[in-house]
A and B are shown apart, each in its own frame.
Chain A
Amino acid sequence: MTGFYLRWAGVIVIVGILALLTSQHYEKHLSSVSPDMVVTGNDSKTTLRVQGMVKSGSLTGNPEDGHAAFELLGASNSLKVQYEGPPPENLRELKTLILIGQWDAENKLFQARETALVTNYGYVASAYIVALLALIAFVFSMSRNVTFLYQEIKESKIYEPELGP
């Protein structure tokens, strides 16, 4: 049984490492910050993903051509945004979205070059966790049963010659 549990411990460790790497990847590349955090920062080199709502009445320019200016609302601050990039389909007033770009601390302006939809990580993570954990548990319990059955057959005297009285 020790070999069996060691094998499964290996599987659990590998799955754990992969889960950790995946969550780190999402944290690094796909997590977003609020406009409040951008306004208070001075970092103008890093590419940021900012999530907020387009302020009603602030949208000017021509989003169909990929040029627009607007304000992005956070919890307590708003962020002035200059958008220059591919024509965004989801850029309209009162729409919550993610902007990808850089913060110009000198001019207090966020220069966005791309938009993205708000990510529902909770749904994606829960679907994968439910499916994978259930499958792992199912295979583990079946393999354990088979190992136990072999052991029971081996340890009991069932395989001894069944001679009559």
Chain B
Amino acid sequence: MMNRFIRRIQRFKGWIGAAAALCIFYGLYLGLLDSPPDYYQGEVVRIMYVHVPLAHTALLAYGTLFVGSLWYLWKRDVLVDNMCHAAAGITAAFTILALITGAIWAKPTWNTWWTWDPKLVSFAVLLLIASGYLMLRTFVEDPDKEGRYAAVMAIVGGIDLPIIYFSAEWWRTLHQPLSISMRGVSMSGDILLPLAIMSLGLNLLFIYMLMIRTQMLYLTNLLEAKKGRLLSHAHLSHTSS
């Protein structure tokens, strides 16, 4: 089922890429030019329109890896394993960018690039988990074991997701609490619209990147398998003659 879904959605890759680009350009226009400056932070608040969507997309990417890993352990679908591998790389990329843009925003607002705040630390742990996942996949030789171990690691690492999300509620932290929660939305429409458009754009970009990267890993594996088969044929023909 998942396999069919991935193959079906691959057909719309170009459209998804174009929609992502449109949303990002419109979000940039709204965020950089149209939205008002913040009463306290001034123009620096505009960093939010890139930092928050990057962080949300990093969580979405890891969520995809988590669900995909559960699915892989159940069905042992190789394409889903490729998708998980792809999602891990993208998670790492989005997490690094969210941490960098967060540090750039923290300097003028908190007067420091980094602080040992629960939200920041748990987000940095997400980067370590994604990096660990990618390293594990390079260390294990057997493809079946590689997929299995990596899936288990991704599922165990999933415990970091609720910690990141709720850390601002659970602990006393410098990071601002959730602006959108069950209690309602605590931001004005002028700020919410560019944030929503940029988030949508980066989420679509993530789906587009996931498709390309899954395709890339699938083709790499296919090429290696084919080359290996040709080599073994060549070896067989050499030894039989």
Contacts and interface: CB of A to CB of B under 8 A. Distances in A.
Interface of A: 11, 14, 18, 22, 25, 30, 116-121, 123-124, 126-128, 130-132, 134-135, 138-139, 142-143, 145-146, 149-150, 152-153, 158-159, 162, 164-165
Contacts of B236: 164-165
Interface in B40-88: 41-44, 46-47, 50-51, 54
Interface in B137-178: none
Interface of B: 21, 25, 28, 32-33, 37, 41-44, 46-47, 50-51, 54, 93, 96-97, 100-101, 104-105, 107-108, 205, 208-209, 212-213, 215-216, 219-220, 222-223, 226-227, 229-230, 233, 236-237, 240-241
A143 B212 CA distance: 7
A142 B206 CA distance: 13
Contact of A18 (B25, B44, B50, B229): B25
A142 B47 contact: no
A22 B33 contact: yes
B218 to A, nearest CB: 9
A119 B233 contact: no
6 contacts: A18-B25, A25-B33, A123-B108, A124-B32, A142-B212, A145-B216
Contact of B230 (A123, A132, A150, A162): A162
